Structure 1
Amino acid sequence: MSIMLHSIQTSTGLFVTLSILLISISFRWILSNPRTKKNLPPSPRKLPFIGNLHQLGSRPHHTLLDMAKKHGPLMLVHVGSVPMLVASSAEVAEKILKTHDLVFCNRPILKIPNTILYGSKDIAFCPYGEHWRQMKSIAVLHLLSNRRVQLFRQVREEETTIMIDKIRESSGSLVNLSEMFVSLTNNVVCRVALGKTYRGLRFKNLLERLMDILGALSVGSYIPWLSWVDRVSGLQRITNEVAKEFDELLEGVLEEHMDKNRGTNVGGRCKEDQDLVDILLDVQREKVGGFEVDKDTIKAVILDIFAAGTDTTSTSIEWAISELVKHPQVMKKLQQEVTSVANGRSMITEGDLEKMKYLKAIIKETLRLHIPLPLLVQRESTQDINLMGYDIPAGTRVVINAWALGRDPSLWEESNEFKPERFLNSSLDYKGFHYQFIPFGAGRRGCPGIQFAMAINELAIANLVYKYDLALPDGKGGEELDMSDITGLTTHRKSPLLVVASRRF
């Protein structure tokens, strides 16, 4: 009897223990299951392992807007194993970029930029923290301040003149304006950043490969167990090659600058003709603010300037001229404005640009319709937060579909039409305070180079339409211009802009 009682007690004890263990495991599973404890934003149905990756296609800003029409302006998609919050309205964008900017100001570590940019020591892709704060401060105060941008005025005007002269040499034959704009912005950025131009084919190809690689999709960044795909496809090899070639180039540039400055009295040296490498070397030498800037950081920041200052700027000019060719009545009105301001002089100077209200409206309208980065650079939440009634876990990726904001029919009348007049007598601007129009981002991670980019845009467009009439070849009308786009790091024209340029005087 006692043996049976002991057996029953043992069985009962084991049952109770197992029950407690099962309840504990179940309770922990419930707590760890985000769908049972969190009110997540609506999501499209996903596939195992790849999530919604297969749905994004070659123009994800279009696809994500279509999804948002069904699931709402605050939507959670899954790119592989990565949850990604997508904002498709100005209201949601303002909550993320203004109200909760500090929570959403981090950058995720992405494989390709991390490899190219020396472990993300740059400004654009650097995770939020002390290093980023110091480098952003250096950029704003020393590299891209209003005064510094004005000091490079002569460079912009000289390179614009060179472009205009090259077009004149075409003697009425077909001109590839897309190539012209890339050369213009590349030469300006080279002179500003490095002190000289690199006009050779090798450098041009290297820059093109950099832009291509930064716009490529790394499967391993979103589906870690498929990282081998990046090796098999050659993406990893090409990334390493581009990183190595740019490192060798920039290492040579730094050596040239350090050799030039050796023995120079830094305090007595003229600062007016310094390029950006000179300035960064001064910051490194003087340990501004007690912050040490190493060589890799200098190289990463210079690469940032190339990526942001060449491709996005040339693309903006390309789309603006495309719209002018397509809308000859707008072109004629702009030509009347620039001709009046120029008052017979051979070229438009930067001092003239402030008087050109219609030019500024055209550029704003171009940025609204053809934002260079349709999906702003990814952010990442730093802590759990409730956003508009939804629970957003820490570490969630965040994307703002700025292209969708610029074409929202509830915010813009005839939202898909090119109408520069909408910006005349309007306070709307692109500096990050109007969330339906944020081509340069907003908040802490907004682009610090707005003034630099806009100076090139305005000067190039003003002089081009002042000097030339532009027409499509074979007698085609502007309405026949193909405006199809293709997306990489930026959204380009699918085909180059080929025109016949006729001198106006």
Structure 2
Amino acid sequence: MFRKISSVHLFSGKALDDLKHVRQEEVAVLAHALANAGSKVVNLAQLLNLCTVNALGRVMVGRRVFGDGSGGDDRKADEFKSMVLEMMVLAGVFNIGDFISSLEWLDLQGVASKMKKLHKRFDDFLTAIVEDHKKKMSSGRADQHVDMLTTLLSLKEDADGEGAKLNDTEIKALLLDMFTAGTDTSSSTVEWALAELIRHPQMLARVQKSWTNSWAETGS
């Protein structure tokens, strides 16, 4: 059911085309932040993370999750990134309880305890977003753009056309999957690509030339 909803409302060709302007606008914000930095040292990893989270946030919940990296929301952005990284680490850690079931209840390494605390932090973060969205929808202040969360909330009583229902826990689980799977991985990949381009100036020049030619042809 979730796969069907996501493929239709988020990953279809039409959805990607309709949301192209979101990606372009967030990349423009990133470029503006880098240009304003001038000769100052910038935390590129943080700016890329802000870009990907905000682009996904606008698609998923209809608004930017964080600021533009100018300083006001840096703490929140760092906290969110740390939550994502902590979840990845905990998901891959060697846990004795997974192999010796009789010791699982002891939680010798504290993995279960850490996961519960992390779940609480994520749940608070997502609950605030969902509740704020509900208020905007009920008051008629929701944005004209129909985001994924609006779609999910509107499908709560009939998610698949056959009477299947969605609850807030399932909606938050889907949002969590999207945010964790689509933010740090994407920003890290772009960070790696930029690092490689800087290491190979000739390739960077080719990319710049290609982008210039593309911009001249399309005007965007």
2:104 is aligned to 227
- Report the CA distance between 1:233 and its aligned residue: 3.3
Residue 204 in 1 paired to residue 78 in 2? yes
- Give CA-to-partner distance per residue, 1:53-93, whole Å, 9 cap, x none: xxxxxxxxxxxxxxxxxxxxxxxxxxxxxxxxxxxxxxxxx
How far apart, in 2, do the equivalents of 1:271 and 1:183 lie? 21
- Give CA-to-partner distance per residue, 1:177-217, whole Å, 9 cap, x none: 22221111111112221222232323531342233223321
- Report the CA distance between 1:259 and its aligned residue: 2.3
Q: Which amino acid in structure 2 is aligned with residue 224 of structure 1? A: S
CA distance 1:203–1:226, shift in 2 (3 Å): farther
How far apart, in 2, do the equivalents of 1:257 and 1:225 lie? 44
| SS of structure 1 residue aligned to 2:28 | helix
Aligned pair partner of 1:297 in 167, 170, 176: 170
Aligned pair partner of 2:215 in 333, 342, 345: 342
CA distance 1:203–1:325, shift in 2 (3 Å): closer
2:6 is aligned to 139
8 Å CA contact 1:182–1:314 kept in 2: the answer is: yes
8 Å CA contact 2:81–2:184 kept in 1: the answer is: no
Q: Which amino acid in structure 2 is aligned with residue 244 of structure 1? A: K
Matches within 5 A, 1:10-409: 134-199=1-66, 200=73, 201-216=75-90, 217-219=93-95, 220-227=97-104, 231-262=107-138, 273-290=145-162, 291-343=164-216, 349=220
- Give CA-to-partner distance per residue, 1:230-275, whole Å, 9 cap, x none: x3433322211121122122222222222222376xxxxx996012
| SS of structure 1 residue aligned to 2:146 | coil
Corresponding pairs, count:
208
8 Å CA contact 2:50–2:77 kept in 1: the answer is: no
Q: Which amino acid in structure 2 is aligned with residue 277 of structure 1? A: L
CA distance 1:256–1:175, shift in 2 (3 Å): closer
How far apart, in 2, do the equivalents of 1:225 and 1:203 lie? 39
2:70 is aligned to none
Q: Which amino acid in structure 1 is aligned with residue 53 of structure 2? A: N
8 Å CA contact 1:143–1:279 kept in 2: the answer is: no
Normalized against structure 2, the TM-score is what? 0.82
| SS of structure 1 residue aligned to 2:157 | helix
8 Å CA contact 1:151–1:272 kept in 2: the answer is: no
Higher strand share goes to which structure?
1
User: Greater CA radius of gyration, 1 or 2?
Assistant: 1
Unaligned runs of 5+ in 1: 1-133, 265-269, 350-505
Moved more, 242-251 or 283-292: 283-292
How far apart, in 2, do the equivalents of 1:152 and 1:237 lie? 39
1:405 is aligned to none
- Give CA-to-partner distance per residue, 1:299-343, whole Å, 9 cap, x none: 111011101210111111111112111211111111111112222
Runs of at least 4 residues of structure 1 off by over 6 A?
none
| SS of structure 1 residue aligned to 2:64 | coil
8 Å CA contact 1:325–1:331 kept in 2: the answer is: yes
Higher helix share goes to which structure?
2
8 Å CA contact 2:49–2:81 kept in 1: the answer is: no
How far apart, in 2, do the equivalents of 1:165 and 1:241 lie? 37
* Aligned residues with identical type, % of pairs: 26
2:69 is aligned to none
CA RMSD of aligned residues (A): 2.6
8 Å CA contact 2:26–2:54 kept in 1: the answer is: yes
CA distance 1:222–1:205, shift in 2 (3 Å): farther
8 Å CA contact 1:185–1:314 kept in 2: the answer is: yes
Moved more, 306-315 or 173-182: 173-182
| SS of structure 1 residue aligned to 2:63 | coil
8 Å CA contact 2:84–2:184 kept in 1: the answer is: no
8 Å CA contact 2:159–2:165 kept in 1: the answer is: yes
